[in-house]
Structure 1
Amino acid sequence: MTTRQASFVPMTGWGQTMQLFIHPEIEVVNCARPGASSKSFADRGRLQWILDHLMPGDYLLISFGLIDEKTDAGRHTLPFGSFQDYLRLYIEGARERLAHPVLVTTHERRGFDGHGNLNWALGHYPAAMRELAAQTCTPLIDLYAQSITWWQQLGPEGTKGIFLFLAPGEHPNYPEGIEDNTHLKPVGAIECSRFVARTLAEQGIVPPHWVVNLEQPQFPAEAMGWLDDETHEALVKARTVQTGTAQ
């Protein structure tokens, strides 16, 4: 979801393209951080920063799972245990401030076996989020299920146009090329945020007139919202109650 800095272009988080589909009178603040799990984001004071700034009537979109499966103690959670426990902190914290929490399952990684079958790498985290949504009566947007459909339709080669696959010399930020099965190019981020925005409107989670541009097929590069590196670094340091924390 992270809004990426200019030195990472064309890597694009779907959180940074949400602005394209939300009416300009509605402020979108993307607080996602790279490499953060539901645990590390909360433990490092980033959730508290959000809760300190939430206003009644705000919406808090909560999407984790890609990093929660990491094995290091600072980030790892158990799907039907600590993952749900941490997500409850986000849900309950938002409701205590009269804001509206919304759970969003994360998109699947790109991974195919030798027969072209998609590997389901995220295990039980999407199911655990769905279960928690039902238990807590929290709106759920199932981006994970939608991404499975997309990636299967596109196949091993087609998904390279969605994910950060670049040949050597194709982009100055990646002179040696890159094959990244987790992070998205603009087209992938846009379609993920388009799906999230459409679902927000169709399910009546937000007033439908807040959602715009759903039928616009493309957007110019300058609309992607990439940050210069200095601004990105400043926000990383500022949006935490633990000033200077880097994750």
Structure 2
Amino acid sequence: LYIIGDSTVRNGTGGQMGWGDPLVNEFDPTRITVINRAIGGRSSRTFLTEGRWDAVMAHLKPGDFVLMQFGHNDGGKLNDERCRASIKGTGNESEDIVRITDKQPETVHTYGWYLRKYITDTKAKGATPIVVSLIPRNIWKDGKIGRADGSHGGWAKQVAQQEKIPFIDFNNLLARRYESIGQEQTAALFAGKDHTHTGPAGAAFNALEMTKAIRTLPGCDLGKALLPADLWIPSIFSDHMVLQRGVAIPVWGRAAAGAEVKVSISGKQAVAKADEQGNWKTSIDALDTPGPHLMQVSTAGVIREFKDVLIGEVWLCSGQSNMDFTLAKTAKRSFSGVTDWEKEVAAANHPQLRMFTAEWTMAEFPQRDVSGSWQVCSLKTVGDFSAVAYYFGRGIQENLKV
């Protein structure tokens, strides 16, 4: 999924954040990669003329999605110190200018023309375009948030209908949500006195609303890549996991807003209630019995079970290539392999030693989850274990008898 847009979608100014960044965390990283290519100050026109769309197109492939939101920077004069405004409307009008910024000629088109350009290019790549109307500003009149139905919001909807593609009326959707929580709470979502740009809380709020819209978007499969709406638990909780002995065990995740979530293991139980954003967290009293145990997490008829759970020592092993160096030479890590690694692997039958390895990835912001799962140490799995972590775990096991 590629996201394109302006600073209300991605923002590098301190204290401000666009909805595109927290939206990344709403998707299952094992099912889709989300890349936010929106950038502050850009319009439907300048995102194209600066070559930013070409950079997206260079990587776009069949089955991908493009989520586009423009409009906030499309107003104003066509030829000024920013040269970013588009012609109003959705027609095919154009105007030839020589930009005062760099003395270069340019043919300026309508807002709708630029959206159709992105849509046509996306379809040509076998990908799915999704048009999003611009988020509303925090400007009220007679108890109502101002809408953009008569301008860029309405034009975006018109283009999407003409092109027969998915459309999210974010402008009206968010306006209704802001009105439902009132002016005071809405103001807290924006960055200081800014009426256009949200802060982190507002970005998360908007991203959650976008998630709901994507999940119910007719004729679009993007919602299938979202994390479950009923009950989501981080991948660190899985079959064969090890939980720390002697301390309260934290468990957390997402569920429907206000839902009660129950966590149980070996007769001990804890209950949590999901907040307005669906987040919940609880803890189970300390356990010392090694196991194996069965953990259950349930809410509203949905149950997640984790089998073969052990209670013991949990250590975080972090580093660079030295920690990534695996016990055996593998296809992914041909540079690895300890001395006589074949003998080490052949003798590595330690079912009570488990390892969770976070997959290689990179992100611009902290992520809610990582890809990975717990693996039981065996002749088949140990080759991919970090060599340092493996020997450290063996030492802990031998010394503490866990």
How would you bin the TM-score normalised by the shorter chain? 0.7 to 0.9
Structure 1, residues 195-242: CA drift from partner, whole Å, max 9, x if none? 2222222225125441116473267xxx9927xxxxxxxxxxxxxxxx
CA apart distance, 1:69: 1.8
CA apart distance, 1:122: 7.3
Q: Which runs of 5+ in 1 are unaligned?
A: 166-178, 227-247
1:1-247 alignment, distance < 5 Å? 1-5=8-12, 8-25=13-30, 26-73=32-79, 74-77=83-86, 78-81=88-91, 82-113=110-141, 115-120=142-147, 123-165=150-192, 179-203=193-217, 204-212=219-227, 214=229, 216=254, 217=277, 225=365
CA distance in 1, matches of 2:63, 2:211: 17
Q: Sort the Cα spacing of 1:72 and 1:153 in 2 relative to 1 into closer, same or farther, 3 A.
A: farther
Give the partner amino acid of 1:212: L
| Contact 1:13-1:189 at 8 Å conserved across structures | yes
| Contact 2:147-2:172 at 8 Å conserved across structures | no
Give the partner amino acid of 2:72: L
CA distance in 1, matches of 2:78, 2:222: 40
More strand by share: 2
| Contact 1:37-1:66 at 8 Å conserved across structures | yes
- Does 184-193 or 85-94 show the bigger shift? 184-193
Q: Normalising by structure 2, report the TM-score.
A: 0.48
| Contact 2:132-2:169 at 8 Å conserved across structures | yes
CA apart distance, 1:100: 0.8
CA distance in 1, matches of 2:146, 2:160: 25
| Contact 1:15-1:30 at 8 Å conserved across structures | yes
Identity percentage of aligned residues: 26
Partner secondary structure for residue 189 of structure 1 = helix
Give the partner amino acid of 2:225: W
> Over the residues paired in the alignment, what is the CA RMSD in angstroms?
2.4
Structure 1, residues 150-189: CA drift from partner, whole Å, max 9, x if none? 2222333222111112xxxxxxxxxxxxx10011112221
CA distance in 2, matches of 1:52, 1:4: 23
CA distance in 1, matches of 2:11, 2:278: 19
CA apart distance, 1:193: 1.7
Q: Normalising by structure 1, report the TM-score.
A: 0.76
| Contact 2:45-2:111 at 8 Å conserved across structures | yes
More helix by share: 1
Give the structure, 1 or 2, with the largest relative contact order (CA under 8 Å, sep 6 or more).
1
| Contact 1:118-1:151 at 8 Å conserved across structures | yes
CA distance in 2, matches of 1:191, 1:109: 14
CA distance in 1, matches of 2:117, 2:222: 25
| Contact 2:148-2:154 at 8 Å conserved across structures | no
CA distance in 2, matches of 1:148, 1:99: 30
Structure 1, residues 79-99: CA drift from partner, whole Å, max 9, x if none? 333000000110001111111
CA distance in 2, matches of 1:201, 1:152: 22
| Contact 1:56-1:98 at 8 Å conserved across structures | yes
Paired residues, what number?
A: 208
CA distance in 2, matches of 1:205, 1:150: 23
Partner secondary structure for residue 180 of structure 2 = helix
CA apart distance, 1:119: 3.2
Structure showing greater Rg? 2
